[in-house]
Amino acid sequence: MPSVRSLAAALTLLAAAPLAAQAQGVETRPPITPYKPAFAGQTRAPEQKLGVAFETATVATGLKFPWAIALLPDGRMLVTERMAGAVRLVGADGTLSEPLAGAPQVLGRGQGGLLDVVLDPAFARNRLVYLSYAEAQADNTNNTAVARARLTEGPTPRLEDLTVIYRQKPSLNSPLHFGSRLVFDRAGRLFVTQGDRFVPDGQKQAQNLDSLIGKIVRIGADGSVPKDNPFVGKAGARPEIWSIGHRNIQAATLHPQTGELWTVEYGPQGGDELNVARKGKDYGWPTISYGVNYGPAKAPITGGETQRAGMEQPLYYWDPVIAPAGAIFYTGAAFPAWKGSLLIAGQQPQGLPGGHITRLTLKNDRVVGEERLDLPGAYWRDIRQAADGSIYLLAGGPAGRIVRLTPKR
């Protein structure tokens, strides 16, 4: 059964269902799974083309398997190179620094390596940056980890005083599903999105409170545990946990009005999910899912359930998937028609070549329109909004680059 919240939403949308059913969605391919949504508008929202014209300009090239970008106040950028475990400083003119000394040692295998990079909310004063990465252990296991360091300027910029502030426990032997988006909340606490590590031993821990596998955690900027985390003081529960039942979250951002954490989560075949990650909630993986296992057999996940009491329904899901790799709520003035939209960087729509941005129009907690902004020629790994409202996209792969979107003149 869907949660009370989902049932209430379904009742409020029933009247609009006939109209929505007549509207053409952006996705025209048949779904991969046989599943039906729990409420009207949960998938394949009406296509809403706003007709915004934009142009692109390449800002920097020569990056190798970049994963994330952070925009510095002076117009420069920090970029992580996943496989090499390198942090590069990119000038406003696109020049690349040598890899900065002081970066953490990473496991550059599979989906691992050096992943997200974010600035401390007080970066202008303290120069602190935060890095998430895959960390190897001596027993051949590995885990997601988070470290912070100080960006020091000079003829040879570097990272100093690197300190590990978080390690996912337990460590498992898997090269996949590290999750790894870092998002500061308004009070300066740090959300860390994680994955289930893909292997069966990890999947079954995604709803276990004594494990950090398949969880979003919230920690202080120094790695301490906030006293108002939902499971603080609960016997047998890890106090770092914020929410449970997650598969692999690589896109996350704060809502500009509510301050809540919104996530876009990788599903298996079918079933990428949009959620609001709320305190102490269970998002169901792997008990419920709108996706199926990889492979031609399309076998159901666990029992093939999509709804169960006590587990949250996604606000929206995609089938086939969009491969979400980064997200922002657009708040700038450069593209006024997009203001309030959720923009999701995509690597590769399932079964289709090329990259894209998925733009969602939202009304409260519901998707009421979807648009696909085609940006071929790259798998977009990250997306950020600059102070002037322009948008920076990071193209992944062996020939990575940074591209800037501005209004078409």
DSSP secondary structure letters along 238-285: -TTEEEB--SBEEEEEE-TTT-PEEEEE--SBS-EEEEEE-TT-B--T
In this structure, is residue 42 part of a structural domain?
Answer: no
- Across the range 53-75, mean pLDDT stands at 97
Q: What is the per-residue pLDDT across 365-388, written as a single tens digit (0 to 9) for each?
A: 999 999 999 888 788 999 999 999
- Across the range 376-402, mean pLDDT stands at 94
Q: What is the per-residue pLDDT across 149-205, written as a single tens digit (0 to 9) for each?
A: 999 998 899 999 999 999 999 999 999 999 999 999 999 999 999 999 999 999 999
In this structure, is residue 139 part of a structural domain?
Answer: yes
Q: What is the per-residue pLDDT across 2-14, written as a single tens digit (0 to 9) for each?
A: 443 443 443 333 3
In this structure, is residue 365 part of a structural domain?
Answer: yes
pLDDT at position 92 over 60: yes
Read off the pLDDT band of 1 (50, 70, 90): very low
- Is residue 228 within 8 A of residue 217, CB to CB? The reply is no
Read off the pLDDT band of 349 (50, 70, 90): low
- Is residue 132 within 8 A of residue 145, CB to CB? The reply is yes
Q: Which pair of structure tokens corresponds to residue 343?
A: 């923009």
Read off the DSSP letter of residue 194.
-
In this structure, is residue 25 part of a structural domain?
Answer: no
In this structure, is residue 392 part of a structural domain?
Answer: yes
Provide the domain count of the chain: 1
Q: Note the pLDDT of residue 14.
A: 34
Q: Note the pLDDT of residue 377.
A: 78
- Is residue 404 within 8 A of residue 389, CB to CB? The reply is no
Q: What is the per-residue pLDDT across 206-247, written as a single tens digit (0 to 9) for each?
A: 999 999 999 999 999 999 999 999 999 999 999 999 999 999
Closest CA to 67 of 77, 78, 82: 82
* Domain of residue 63, residue span: 4-9+52-407
Closest CA to 389 of 342, 341, 335, 340: 335
Read off the pLDDT band of 346 (50, 70, 90): confident
Q: Note the pLDDT of residue 276.
A: 98
**CA triple 151-190-96, angle to 5 deg:** 30
Q: Note the pLDDT of residue 350.
A: 57
pLDDT at position 106 over 80: yes
In this structure, is residue 362 part of a structural domain?
Answer: yes
Here the contacts of 12-20 (C-beta below 8 Å, separation 24 or greater) are: 13/39, 13/40, 13/41, 13/366, 14/40, 16/40, 16/41, 17/41, 20/45, 20/46
| Main-chain phi, psi angles of 18, to 5 degrees | -60, -40
Q: Which residues contact 32 (CB under 8 A, 6 or more apart)?
A: 269, 270, 291, 292, 298, 319, 320, 350
Q: Note the pLDDT of residue 140.
A: 97
Read off the DSSP letter of residue 160.
E
**E strands, 120-201, in order:** 128-136, 142-152, 158-167, 182-184, 190-193
Give the Cα separation of 358 and 373 in Å (integer).
Answer: 6
304 vs 4, 285, 292, 373, CA distance in Å? 21, 11, 8, 32
Mean pLDDT for all residues in the chain: 93
pLDDT at position 353 over 70: no
- Across the range 21-28, mean pLDDT stands at 72
- Across the range 68-97, mean pLDDT stands at 97
Answer left, alpha or beta for residue 352, where phi above 0 means left and psi between -120 and 50 means alpha: beta
In this structure, is residue 31 part of a structural domain?
Answer: no
Q: Which residues contact 209 (CB under 8 A, 6 or more apart)?
A: 231, 234, 236, 237, 238, 241, 244
Read off the DSSP letter of residue 111.
T
Give the Cα separation of 382 and 129 in Å (integer).
Answer: 17
Give the CATH number, domain containing residue 313: 2.120.10.30
Give yes or no: 246 in active site.
no
Q: Note the pLDDT of residue 324.
A: 94
Q: Note the pLDDT of residue 4.
A: 39
In this structure, is residue 44 part of a structural domain?
Answer: no
Q: Which one of 177, 246, 255, 356 is the catalytic residue? A: 177
Q: What is the per-residue pLDDT across 256-313, written as a single tens digit (0 to 9) for each?
A: 999 999 999 999 999 999 999 999 999 999 999 999 999 889 999 988 999 999 999 9
Q: Note the pLDDT of residue 378.
A: 83
Q: Which of 18-22, 61-65, 92-96 has the weakest average pLDDT? A: 18-22
